[in-house]
Amino acid sequence: MPRKHLLKSVQLPYHVSARANNREDFPIDKEQLWKIIGNECLLLHLLYGVELHSFVLMSNHFHTIMTVPEHDLGIVMNHFMWSVSRRVNLISGRSGHVFGGPYYWSLINNSRYFGHVLKYVYRNPVRAKIVGNVEDYPYSTLQGLLGFAHLPFPIHYTRIGMELSLPSDESSQQLEWLNTPFPKEAETLIQKGLRRRLFQDIIDPQTRKPSELFMALI
């Protein structure tokens, strides 16, 4: 399958994900890899002006939401994946690919979609039944936002124009929202949306209109 032609934006955030080679676990433990990723995210911020909105590291893949206001996403991700791979190989004593192919991306163009994707990213460890609540997972930028852990890079919960329509700014309200599961059908729609170059409404084949379930989320 040919790779998606990159939609370039210096204002809109991207959801980006990548898997370990052969869908196996990464060759070093998550604690070590999380430190490497933290340092590399700081470099992305300093070198390319990247704004990180979320990052969650799983055993064999990662999810992140980022805005690249000064550079091309392709340049940023090529640097990130090459540099992470080099450092992982140095620690593990291995050579070759750390990531199993290219990264995947989807451009997010409004605040409702941003909310869908942000919640989807932070709920990954809960969905995998690793933890019971989003705030309990240590390899997530949410811990830094809540003050539970130090992040070596700045994290921006939202982006200008992507403010979330949450009940209040209180962290307890936001955690309640993040810890409320998606309806299973809605989660499937979000996964389908993230396979597209532009994250967008999923059309109901019967009505030929955006799915009411998808519209109702957040």
Paired with 140 in beta bridges are: 56
Confidence of residue 214 (pLDDT cuts 50, 70, 90): low
Could you tell me the residue range of the domain that residue 138 belongs to?
14-216
99: number of Cβ within 10 Å? 18
Question: At residue 172, does pLDDT exceed 90?
Answer: no
Is the residue at 9 inside a domain?
Answer: no
Quickly tell me which residue has 């939609």 as its tokens: 7
Alpha-carbon distance of 21 to 150, in angstroms, equals: 29
Closest C-alpha to 80, from 118, 52, 108, 120: 52
Taking a C-beta distance cutoff of 8 angstroms, is the pair 41, 155 a contact? no
| pLDDT of 17 | 97
| pLDDT of 187 | 87
Alpha-carbon distance of 66 to 72, in angstroms, equals: 12
CA angle 139, 39, 25 (to 5 degrees): 45
Is the residue at 92 inside a domain?
Answer: yes
Taking a C-beta distance cutoff of 8 angstroms, is the pair 206, 143 a contact? no
What's the domain count of the chain?
Answer: 1
Q: What is the mean pLDDT of the segment spanning 15-43?
A: 96
Quickly tell me which residue has 């809960």 as its tokens: 126
Is the residue at 48 inside a domain?
Answer: yes
| pLDDT of 167 | 45
Is the residue at 7 inside a domain?
Answer: no
| 92-148 tens-digit pLDDT | 999 889 999 889 999 998 888 898 899 999 999 999 999 999 999 999 999 998 889
Is the residue at 191 inside a domain?
Answer: yes
User: Within 107-202, where are the H helices?
Assistant: 111-122, 124-127, 141-145, 171-178, 184-193
Alpha-carbon distance of 107 to 200, in angstroms, equals: 9
Q: What residues contact 8, with CB distance under 8 A and at least 6 apart? A: 72, 73
Is the residue at 5 inside a domain?
Answer: no
The amino acid occupying position 114 is F
Is the residue at 30 inside a domain?
Answer: yes
The domain that contains 60 carries what CATH number?
Answer: 3.30.70.1290
Question: At residue 20, does pLDDT exceed 80?
Answer: yes
The amino acid occupying position 182 is F
Q: Length of the chain, please? A: 218
Taking a C-beta distance cutoff of 8 angstroms, is the pair 210, 201 a contact? yes
Confidence of residue 73 (pLDDT cuts 50, 70, 90): very high
Mean pLDDT in the chain?
87
Is the residue at 108 inside a domain?
Answer: yes
Paired with 70 in beta bridges are: none
| 76-90 tens-digit pLDDT | 999 999 999 999 999
